[in-house]
Copies of this chain bind each other. A is one copy, B any other.
Amino acid sequence: MDEQAYYFEDYQLGDTRTTGGKTITEADIVIHAGQTGDFFPHHVDADWCEKHDFGQRIAHGTLTFSVGVGLTASFINPVAFSYGYDHLRFVKPVYIGDTIHTVVTISDKKDHKKHADKGIVTEHLEIINQKGETVMVADHLLMCQKRDA
């Protein structure tokens, strides 16, 4: 995995990148249920789902989020670190066999209130399925060093 210093000044508002895609398989849901202990029938009980509105098993929100975020892991930036997410919203269900990818847009930049040598960069994530529908959004918060600080 490549390492590349990418400073606060290097992020440009409106810059965008698109990740590769990953199909959310039944196996992914089984493994995620196992990892989290979330055995809600919405995810692990096909029979129960058939008898309810959505009709079929859906991916855990945390699975869609984890994969959608994981797809953005491309290079190591030693002068930034992730400190959180805001406004994470489940927009549409993800079904077995759906393929998701993530579009990352630099949506905000601001100085850090206390540390003059740092800034906050917001990456807006849209997780999108194979039909072009947005299934989840979130704002990723990066604390970045300033180049000339």
Which residues of A line the B interface, CB within 8 A?
A: 1, 19-23, 25-28, 30-41, 44-48, 57, 60-63, 65-67, 69-71, 73, 76, 82-90, 97, 99, 130
Q: How many Å lie between the Cα of A71 and that of B36 in the bound state?
A: 7
Which residues of chain B have C-beta atoms less than 8 A from A37's C-beta?
Answer: 22, 33-34, 37, 39, 44, 67, 70-71, 73
Which residues of chain B have C-beta atoms less than 8 A from A21's C-beta?
Answer: 41, 44-45, 47-48
Option from B48, B66, B83, B89 in Cβ contact (under 8 Å) with A36:
B66
Q: How many Å lie between the Cα of A38 and that of B71 in the bound state?
A: 7
Contact between B34 and A47, CB atoms less than 8 A apart: no
Contact between B23 and A70, CB atoms less than 8 A apart: no
